[in-house]
Amino acid sequence: MGASALILAAGEGTRMRSRLPKVMHEILGVPMVRYVVEAARAAGCDPVVVVTGHGAEVVEAALPDVATVRQEVQLGTGHAVQCAQQAFEGFDGSLLVLSGDSPLISADTLRALVEEREAAGASAAVLTAVPDDPRGYGRIVRDDAGRLVQIVEERDAPEEIRAVREVNTGFYCFDAQTLFAHLHALDNANAQGEFYLTDVVDVFRREGLAVVTATARDAREAAGVNNRVQLAEAAKVLQRRINERHMLAGVTMNDPDLVWIGPSVTLGRDVTLAPMTFLLGETSVADGCVIGPDARVVDSVVGPDAVIDSSIVVESCVCEGASVGPRAYLRPGTVVRPNAKVGTSVEVKNSIIGEGSKVPHLSYIGDAEIGVGVNVGAGTITCNYDGRSKHKTVVEDGAFIGSDTMLVAPVRIGAGAITGAGSAITRDVPADALAVERAEQRIVEGWARRRREQDEEE
């Protein structure tokens, strides 16, 4: 299929009541416009070009892999296409024109729209839908033979046309050369004073050029997002669509309405996702993992049979058989090696927890390298920041770190060494040594009793 795509994403979206451009509002961690871009790519479109306008810098920064053109002044959809004409200079084939605020569109529907136009040899194909509530959409007007006569925007439509339920979705397929040759014929004699792309239908009809329609099987695919209520409704549709795909591929969710998975996440078989689990970004989860409840994993790799319980994992790697949580926080750069444990209320940042090692509870490990088979006692912290720079802590294989130890970096604990509970370790500890760094305990007999008596006298 020799098709390209132009995505209109220049509007402000005032009903969103937001500083963000409308198309930048996220669903499952992904801006709306990205869903349309990926649907066009999956349908085989090349190139894909996005028209930006309001908040152009923000939109373009989120689409570094996509060609963009600017609509400096927003004068309607027809004007937006005019702004992009040069980007398709010399292109001869089907051009999809899509709405950047309709994230539910599928690649299958886009392919069908292109095929409908090309099979009919038409100059244009319009994607229509029959939603339960057609308010807000342009209406499809047909003649007695069922042929498309006109698309009338709702604000310009009389009552009898507003009663029509078939609507224009804002998705079109044109013969590119024919479209660009006729854009000059558009005018802005309408309630908005804008150049409507829908008026191209009238232009084509006057010249005897064929325009056909294709109807979306699921009207929800064409749903535009104009406010935050509609944003939530679109998110629910995508959530269910993604979750169903994973469940049919072998993932268990005992309450899929309480599991949120981003579109780029990959999951193996026999993965179990408990309620209130969020998997976002470029996350990969291997076979047999158990994640949740109440877990968030972002841009991370989780190996086979790992467990993440009620924890946050960001830009980290949890290897095979490792255990994280509950209430742990793995910050970027963390690697938890096979069969290691990061336990309750532990925070780890930019560190390696070696194979079979344990950081069971109430610890902070930052900028550290923990070897194989190390036990880190409760309350241990790495003092990795001196107020100016970060420093590294190394704990070699088999070491035992006593509870409430402060490891003041840079410092190295040798293999098999032990630190005494409550120590502040400021110097390297040789292998197999014991390091105790704390003041000798002093006992003053009767001191507490004398203090109480003094208080009573006062």
405: which 2 tokens?
């130890």
State the angle between helix axes of 32-42 and 228-248 in degrees (0 to 180), rounded to the nearest 10: 40
Per-residue DSSP letter, 318: E
Residues 6+ apart with CB under 8 A from 193: none
Catalytic entry in 182, 246, 361, 391: 361
Q: Are 1 and 68 in contact (CB under 8 A)?
A: no
* H helix runs in 159-310, sequence order: 159-162, 176-182, 200-206, 228-248
CA dist list (Å): 406 to 207, 251, 330, 379, 424: 82, 42, 20, 9, 5
Question: How, if at all, do strands 139-142 and 148-152 pair?
Answer: antiparallel
25 is catalytic: no
Q: Are 237 and 220 in contact (CB under 8 A)?
A: yes
52: which 2 tokens?
């930006």
Distance (Å, whole) CA 321 – CA 308: 10
Distance (Å, whole) CA 297 – CA 319: 14
Distance (Å, whole) CA 458 – CA 456: 5
Q: Are 165 and 183 in contact (CB under 8 A)?
A: no
Residues annotated as catalytic (active site), given as ranges: 361
